[in-house]
Amino acid sequence: MNSLAVAICGAILLSAAFGVYLRLRQIAYVGDHRGETPPDFRDKVTAQEHRRAADYTVENAKISIAETLYSALVSLAWLLFWLAPLYWAIAAVTAPGLWRSLAITLSFAAIASLLDLPFSLARTFWLDARFGLNKQRLGGFLLDWIKSSALEFALGAPLLLGMFALLAAFPHNWWLFAYAGFMLFALAMTMVYPNFIAPLFNTFTPMPQDALRERLEALLSRCGFSAQNLYVMDASTRSTRGNAYFAGFGKTRRIVLFDTLIAKHSPDEIESILAHELGHFKFGHIKQSMALMAAVAFAGFAILYWALGPTGLASAFGFPFEPAIGFAIMLLAREPVMHVLTPIFSWRSRRAEFEADNFAKEMVGEGPMISALTRLTRDNLATLTPDRLYAMFYYSHPPAPERIAHLRDAA
């Protein structure tokens, strides 16, 4: 193990330590402000509801601390202890080449997925169930996990095999071809997901022709959007949380409203939430996200070109040349890098949310949007008093008090 390997292990530990520090700040700040609802919310959020959201946030942060430490230890265990026996066990029964690389990568991914499962179970059946957010049973959860795993295998195995084949055939330029293939796959998935993958997990029914649909169709018409693909999703089978989203492009585009959103919100609020989502399209946020993803992926594949090479990450940890080992090590080493980039991505996302809020205000007025944000925050148990540094790193959406202040102050 050379100095690069030591640096990677150190970065994993430092990233975990900083993540724990940020979560401890969140716990302390939310706990200190648990007893008093912010003045702008006292007429809509009771003191009991504010305390309940604070308690949920604190418990969630505690689980996140345990998960952060656990993930760091698992990553170090892979790098220092587990990858070697996995490699030698598979190498003993497979010849060098594509199928050995595929077997190592899939085995690594399968074990890693199993190791992540306990925290998903804890969040769903301990935390969310304790606070009344979970509606899913264990059998349904496990069925979803099995379907997700099968889908990841069905899609991932051919992609990985193609990447390793390109590496063998074009040792100097393979990463450019792999990057192009990845981008084509990502674009195709934006059209395939709404119609073929999402229905494997939820039921989508066309929104009935009622007064609410007529109202939403009028909004879509004003904004220059087609109203042909308005759907309601059975989110209530899994959670009490409400939401809405757009998916796909062109003829495959769907506008999806959670049934929990329709059940809990007034028509004015639902219209404002849809207007907010339309704002993301009007300001080009979806295309901007795709462009950012393309840039990050390009840098990732450029690094992967070196990482999977004879003098790359496998060599740094004392392994013989095996692209799959380099790939696994890069997956483990990317976490501290992505942690450093997280506040940049979060800042960009929060900026987009402010712009979409402005568009909703322009379309339906500030009152419905403020009411919708307040209700979403209350029903989803989002704290009204997060720690600023924690929010700067991890909040993809601005805290509700900031969004509401912005709506009131924006010209």
What tokens appear for 262 in the block?
């329709």
Q: Residue 344, Cα to own-chain centre: how many angstroms?
A: 15
Q: Which among 376, 375, 369, 379 has a CA at the least distance from the CA of 408? A: 369
- Collapsed DSSP state (helix, strand, coil) of residue 247: strand
Phi, psi of 247 (to 5 degrees): -145, 145
Task: Write the CB contacts of 405 (distance below 8 Å, at least 6 apart in sequence).
Answer: 40
Question: Is 277 assigned a catalytic role?
Answer: yes
Phi, psi of 366 (to 5 degrees): -75, -30
Rounded CA-CA distance 365/370 in Å is: 9
| Residue 33 marked as a ligand binder | no
Which is the catalytic residue, given 277, 366, 379, 387?
277
| Residue 50 marked as a ligand binder | no
- Collapsed DSSP state (helix, strand, coil) of residue 394: helix
What tokens appear for 378 in the block?
């209350």
What tokens appear for 174 in the block?
């393979």
Q: Which residue has the tokens 């997060």?
A: 386
Rounded CA-CA distance 234/204 in Å is: 7
Task: Write the CB contacts of 154 (distance below 8 Å, at least 6 apart in sequence).
Answer: none
Question: Is 144 assigned a catalytic role?
Answer: no
Q: Residue 319, Cα to own-chain centre: how many angstroms?
A: 33
Which is the catalytic residue, given 269, 357, 366, 387?
357
Rounded CA-CA distance 308/322 in Å is: 7
Annotated binding site for Zn(2+): 276, 280, 353
Annotated binding site: 276, 280, 353
Active site positions, annotated: 277, 357
